Amino acid sequence: MNINNLHVSVGDHDILKGVTLSLKKGKVVAIMGPNGSGKSTLANTLAGHPRYTVTQGSIMLDEQDITHEKPDVRAKRGLFLSMQHTPEISGVSIANFLRLAVNAMTGEEKNPLKFHKELVGKMEALRMDPAFLSRYVNVGFSGGEKKRFEMLQLAVLNPSYAILDETDSGLDVDAFKIVAEGISHFRQANTGILLITHYNRMLEYVVPDEVHVMVQGAIVRSGGKELAKEIEEKGYGEIIQSRS
C-alpha cells in the first residue's frame, strides 16, 4: 500500500497535510503522535469513511487506486480496519456476523456447521472460549473482549493489509499479550500492518519495521524502533518544538 501526498479535510477543516508513507506485506509500520494529530483520520480515510474528503494525493493498494473507492470495495481488495470505537450490534451473533462477512468477501455461501468448526479452531489459537460465538457483536464486551474479537476477525478475513487504530487501548496484561501475539502472527502470515498507537508498550512486543511521528496532520519524524523509545523517554513536546 502506498500513500502519496495525502491531504484530507472534514468540512472546512484541513486535517491531513501531505502524508506520504508505504506499507509492504509482512511489515509493521507504526504511527505515533499526540491526541488530535490526525492518526485516526488517516485510519478512517484509508478505510473509506465518507466523512473524510481527500482533497489531494492518492491511496494505492497493490497498484490499484482506491482513493475514492467505497469501503466495501476496499475491504474486498484486502484492506481491514480495526476501529478505535466499535459499534454494538444487538441480535447478531458473532458466529453469524463472521460468516456473513466471509460470504460478502468471497461471494460464496459458507456452510454454517463447517464454518463454525473452522471458527473454533481459530479461537483456540487466540485462547478464546467457543461460547463467545453465541454472544451479540460487542454487546456488553469489555475492552479486552473487543480487541480479541478484532483479532478473530483478522484471522477469519485474512486481509492483505490491516489498519489497527489504538488496538492496545484499555487492555489488561493478559489481553494485551494475546493481541500482541495475534499481530505478530499476522505479520508472519504476510499481512502488512499499520499500527496506530500512543505508547511504546505495544512496540516492545511487536517490533516495528518503521515508526512515523504525526503532529498536526503531518509526519514530522521517521525512524526505527529506537524512535518509539525516545518518545517514551522525552514525550512529544520536544518533537513538536523542533518543528516550530
Measured torsion, CA atoms of residues 61, 64, 68, 72, in degrees rounded to the nearest 10: -70
Instruction: State how far the Cα of 79 lies from the Cα of 159, in Å rounded to an integer.
Output: 6
Integer angstrom CA distances of residue 198 from 130, 172, 218: 32, 16, 16
Q: Do the domain assignments include residue 146?
A: no
Q: Do the domain assignments include residue 107?
A: no
* Residue 12 clears pLDDT 60, i.e. is over it: yes
Containing structural domain, residue 67: 2-88+162-243
Q: Do the domain assignments include residue 113?
A: no
Higher local confidence (pLDDT), 4 or 87: 4
Least confident of 36-45, 116-125, 166-175: 166-175
Q: Do the domain assignments include residue 70?
A: yes
Q: Do the domain assignments include residue 192?
A: yes
* Residue 70 clears pLDDT 60, i.e. is over it: yes
Angle at 138 between CA 137 and CA 141, to 5 degrees: 135
Average pLDDT over residues 161-190: 79
Q: Do the domain assignments include residue 169?
A: yes
Instruction: State how far the Cα of 43 lies from the Cα of 46, in Å rounded to an integer.
Output: 5
pTM over the 0.85 mark: yes
Q: Please tell me the predicted confidence (pLDDT) of residue 170.
A: 67
Beta bridge partners of 81: 163
Q: Please tell me the predicted confidence (pLDDT) of residue 92.
A: 94
Domain count across the chain: 1
Q: Please tell me the predicted confidence (pLDDT) of residue 143.
A: 77
CA-based max dimension of the chain: 59
* Residue 46 clears pLDDT 90, i.e. is over it: yes
Average pLDDT over residues 194-222: 89
Q: Do the domain assignments include residue 30?
A: yes
Q: Do the domain assignments include residue 111?
A: no
Can you read off the three cell numbers belonging to residue 30? Answer: 507504526
Q: Please tell me the predicted confidence (pLDDT) of residue 50.
A: 94
The CATH code of the domain that includes 62 is: 3.40.50.300
Average pLDDT over residues 225-233: 87
